[in-house]
Amino acid sequence: MTDWLLAPELAPDPSDVLAPLYAAADRGELHLPRCAACDLALELEQRVCDGCGAAEVAWRRAEQAGTVHAVTVVHRLEPGLVRTDRPYPVADVELAGGHRLVLAPLSPDIAPPAVGDRVAVGFRRLGEVAVPGFTTPVPEDAP
Ligand SMILES: [Zn+2]
């Protein structure tokens, strides 16, 4: 299946430093890096913990829902790389476990969320690689 947003040549290398993320995403699970010593949530490519100084990363399963911290709408056209010719939202999503992910929607028909909305995290297929994206807002009464 072809991704709605990006050309397949923009797919990340699934064997790079984020390999654990892509391997889990391929199974439909979100795994993110935490400090192996104190469990603090780390940035995706962070290798040294800000909290305790340890330099050991543990990739652990993360909750696939979060709250929109910020959102913007991208209007830039990149023919050949960006496949859509319509503006699309990009959301900075704060997960319950402390991670922040900047995500595009899983499909072009997902309405831009508002700051404070709960969204779920799913996966798009970019070439052969599964990458995280956000879905429609999660209802307030969802568990
Ligand atoms: Zn730590």
Say how many Å lie between the CA of residue 52 and the centre of ligand 1. Answer: 4
Residue 34 sits in which domain range?
A: 8-137
Say how many Å lie between the CA of residue 47 and the centre of ligand 1. Answer: 10
Q: Look over the chain and give the mean of its residue pLDDT values, rounded to a whole number.
A: 93
Say how many Å lie between the CA of residue 123 and the centre of ligand 1. Answer: 28
Say how many Å lie between the CA of residue 32 and the centre of ligand 1. Answer: 14
Say how many Å lie between the CA of residue 113 and the centre of ligand 1. Answer: 33
Segment 2-9 shows an average pLDDT of 93
Q: Is the pLDDT of residue 21 over 70?
A: yes
CA proximity to 68, closest of 22, 113, 108, 121: 113
Provide the domain count of the chain.
Answer: 1
Which residue is it, tokens 């064997």?
A: 15
Dihedral over Cα of 83, 101, 114, 141: its sign? positive
Separation of alpha carbons 107 and 57, rounded Å: 32
Separation of alpha carbons 44 and 36, rounded Å: 14
Rounded to 5°, angle at Cα 139 from 133 and 143 = 90
Say how many Å lie between the CA of residue 21 and the centre of ligand 1. Answer: 20
Residue 2 in any domain: the answer is no
Share of the chain above pLDDT 70, in %: 94
pTM of the model: 0.90
